[in-house]
Amino acid sequence: MGKLFDITPEIIQTYQDGIDDIIDQLGRIISVSMKPKLVDCPNCGWDSFRKRSNNRYQAGGPKPFTDGQQCPYCYGKGKLNNVRNVEFKATVAWNPKDFEPFTQGSVETPRTIVKTKTYIWFRDHIEKCEHAIIEDIVCKLIKKPIPRGLQESRYVVAYWEVINK
C-alpha cells in the first residue's frame, strides 16, 4: 500500500499518454545529422585488391556506363559517403532552469542552452549525431542524453548548446 495512493498501471499509463501527447502535439521537428557512413557504390563493383571501383557497371545501378570506364556515380572510388539526416519530434526549452552550468576553466562564458525531450528510441541518434538543427538553429550535444520515465525509460532528455558560427 502506498502512503497516499497506489501507483497503478493505469496511473502510469495516463502519465505516459500525457507526455506522449505533449511531444506529438507540441513538439518541434528536430533534425540530427549523423556521421556520414561509407557505403558500397550501388552503380559499380568493388575491386578488393586495388580497393576501389572495378569499373564495371552493376546491373540495376542508377547511372549505366561502359565497362572499363570510370563509374560516373562514385568517380571510381567504389564507395560513397552516405549523409544521413534523421528527424523526430521533441519538446524544446531554451535556457532551461534545471541546467547546471559546468564551466571549462575558470571563466564562465555566456552559453545558449536548449533542452529537448523525446522518445527513447531516438537516443542513439542523439548520442551519435554530429549536430542537430533545433528551430533552425545549429546545436551540438553537450551532455550524455538522460533516459527518463516512470517504470521504464520511455523518454530521453538531452542538452544542447548553440554553435556559434
Residue 39 Cβ vs Zn ion, minimum distance, rounded to whole Å: 11
Strand, helix or coil for residue 154? coil
Cβ distance to Zn ion smaller for residue 44 or 157: 44
Decide whether 54 or 118 has the Cβ nearer to Zn ion.
Answer: 54
Query: Could you say which residues in the range 32-71 bind Zn ion, by CB under 5 A?
Result: 41, 43-44, 53, 71
Q: Of these, 23, 74, 114, 158, which contacts Zn ion (CB under 5 A)?
A: 74
Closer Cβ to Zn ion, 74 or 92, answer by number? 74
Binding residue count for Zn ion, defined by CB under 5 A: 7
The rounded distance, in Å, linking the Cα atoms of 15 and 7 is 11
C-alpha span between 122 and 145 (Å, rounded): 10
57 vs 160, beta carbon nearer Zn ion: 57
Cβ atoms 157, 115 nearer than 8 A: yes
Closest approach of Cβ 9 to Zn ion, in Å? 54
What does the binding site for Zn ion look like in residue numbers (CB under 5 A)? 41, 43-44, 53, 71, 73-74
